[in-house]
Structure 1
């Protein structure tokens, strides 16, 4: 049984559509996805296919999906807007805006340290006793205030996989004087007329959210892994350790206690403000945000960011391997490098997420991409679906030059 593609695309992008479809599950009722591409400020691909839940509900034009760490790119864009407006400075201590943040040796940490993942505050597992605490925004801000950094600001790189959202989101609330969701709506969603961009989904929009299909579910009676699987995991861990990677460090950042019983796609999680890993978007909205960034801050007459601020934002600030992610991410201010299966993308930046989603811009190619998907439960480094789609997009655009 084949997929039926919905939406539209320019004929020159047929190869992209073929690759997009090839990344979907073999059986159409096992999941779905959506892809939007802007080239030279024009939407050239806006497609979707598959199903949005386990009952086989067809993916619709307005279907949204939780996009995990892809959220960080949107949150970073929002904080850059506030820098542009003079409400924030990358190099002033966060404690200047948020005095309680200074506790336990955090007085010198700046916004720049956080955006480049050099603040040493990624150890979420040590901050909370259960993953369900992440649903309580004021409680999590207090946990960030009480946290002690693992190292001096700027001394090391460690991906703030989940804690990033409370640090940056909390800072945004301190300087804006309003809830994060309200600032996001005023500064990004409404000006760009986005059709689905939420950090904390309103109850009225929950029906549009896809269900994650294929994510591991907690089962207390689950059989122990086979000896082969155990050996495979041991060999993988050993190979990673040879690169200097410590799985325990990654677990500190990525896996709070109780995570096996915590589901980010449940209504209570979708409605919560999880600004580092809980954003819910359409591919169309993600691509439109990055289309503005690809055009140096402006799209369709709407100025999102000044070109001057954006030029500082997209510089690469560190190249080394981090303590959490065992590969160089080439961190900009809140964005990382763009991954493909071969084409070089030195000027591209964005953010990918657990489960396969991602969004990015490449000003040098006048290109922006947004991709959401509801199948898979792997990291962006082991999940090559978006890498392959990105490669097809770049190949197509290069031929159009």
Structure 2
């Protein structure tokens, strides 16, 4: 018999009861299917909740260890890999990318700096030539095409969200320095030593724990989708639709077997809160020093505010990236502190870090939201957290 009332399980400190209330309300008011939220304050987990269903048919309850594809929330983990190397003096954010990746200097890119990769300002938001999903799974092919391509705009002058290319660009720099793809480097340096349940891609042996991604309850009609695409500039189309990836692709074994460091991280809310908690803890997590405090401070150095060339149509406001993550800014995307930062994923997932308040949050779900940014479910959770501080 299908369960009609979602199960909400886990723990929540009394002071943060409004977060639990909001989490439960999301199921009734925002078509939540299955989800989890974890909040860490001052190194202590104060909220760790999960509930609902792990599949669209509502036959599998969302369990404590259910993992899900978090889409672009993955970018925070990829940025962390780069900052580990910066912290160790192995990567200079002001050095040319070609210093680490010589082939990248082609087509006028010799002067593009590492910080411009991290801040979506490298002009490589999407490939110019058609690129299939199967080709996206080919690391060597994808990075070679990026190295050879001409930028869409003069690097360093504008921001244009590198939706899929970010992970290959930053990830290839990580690989050139360490000899490891970012997923393996993250596992060796962070997730395995700290027991954080997060992977780039998903090992086949863990597939039974994966939640099924489900389209929005009220998806765009074909006419609405066509109208939206018709209004996008070529660079935005390249970034968001070359190739086009939806829930059917992301639920496939091939997607999970690949490494897409911009978009196929799999984890629990607990894991997302832990990874972003390294930033929130000024480099410390679980009694371990992962990054120096100075490196964490550098993460939130604004790289230039403005209307993003790719995200501009989706935002009514200007945005600003730090080094690898987005600043909360005046629009409060990551809470009331404009210097808090984080990353959201398609459909609504989110990782948040606020070193000033010592707060990190991880929110994951399997029902895709219909909004491109600032999903109301996670915005309501963030508001509840800050209301309790």
TM-score by structure 1 length?
0.88
Deviation string 1:181-222 (CA, Å, 9 cap, x unpaired) is: 22010121023211x211121111111111111259x9xxx9
Deviation string 1:209-256 (CA, Å, 9 cap, x unpaired) is: 11111259x9xxx9964xxx58xx86x799xx7xxxx45432221111
Give how far 1:26 is off.
6.4
User: Residue 153 of structure 2 aligns with which residue?
Assistant: 151
Counterpart of 2:294 (choices 308, 312, 316) is: 308
Counterpart of 1:319 (choices 286, 293, 305) is: 305
User: Residue 355 of structure 2 aligns with which residue?
Assistant: 363
How far apart, in 1, do the equivalents of 2:120 and 2:84 lie? Answer: 19
Aligned ranges for residues 105-184 of structure 1 at < 5 Å? 105-124=108-127, 126-184=128-186
Alignment CA distance shift 1:223-1:114 (3 Å): closer
Aligned ranges for residues 319-338 of structure 1 at < 5 Å? 319-326=305-312, 327-338=317-328
User: Residue 5 of structure 2 aligns with which residue?
Assistant: 2
Deviation string 1:106-157 (CA, Å, 9 cap, x unpaired) is: 1111110111111000023x23332331112222111112211112221211
Give how far 1:337 is off.
2.3
How far apart, in 2, do the equivalents of 1:332 and 1:260 lie? Answer: 28
8 Å contact from structure 1 (residues 192, 288) kept in 2: no
User: Residue 210 of structure 1 aligns with which residue?
Assistant: 211
Secondary structure in 1 aligned to 2:379? helix
Deviation string 1:337-385 (CA, Å, 9 cap, x unpaired) is: 2365896221210101101100011111111100100002434426221
Please, which runs of 5 or more residues in structure 2 have no aligned partner?
Answer: none
Secondary structure in 2 aligned to 1:355? helix
Secondary structure in 2 aligned to 1:107? coil
How far apart, in 1, do the equivalents of 2:142 and 2:12 lie? Answer: 43
User: Residue 286 of structure 1 aligns with which residue?
Assistant: 272
8 Å contact from structure 2 (residues 126, 164) kept in 1: no
Alignment CA distance shift 1:362-1:342 (3 Å): closer
Give how far 1:87 is off.
1.3
How far apart, in 2, do the equivalents of 1:16 and 1:49 lie? Answer: 14
Counterpart of 1:58 (choices 37, 58, 61) is: 61
Deviation string 1:261-312 (CA, Å, 9 cap, x unpaired) is: 9612212101210011111111101101222211210022211110111111
Aligned residues: 379
How far apart, in 1, do the equivalents of 2:261 and 2:106 lie? Answer: 22
Q: Which runs of 4+ in 1 moved over 6 A?
A: none
Give how far 1:334 is off.
0.5
TM-score by structure 2 length?
0.90
Q: Does 1:393 align with 2:385?
A: yes
Secondary structure in 2 aligned to 1:100? helix
8 Å contact from structure 1 (residues 131, 262) kept in 2: no
Alignment CA distance shift 1:171-1:329 (3 Å): same
Give how far 1:90 is off.
0.2
Q: Does 1:347 align with 2:350?
A: no
RMSD, aligned α-carbons: 2.6
How far apart, in 2, do the equivalents of 1:223 and 1:117 lie? Answer: 30
User: Residue 101 of structure 1 aligns with which residue?
Assistant: 104
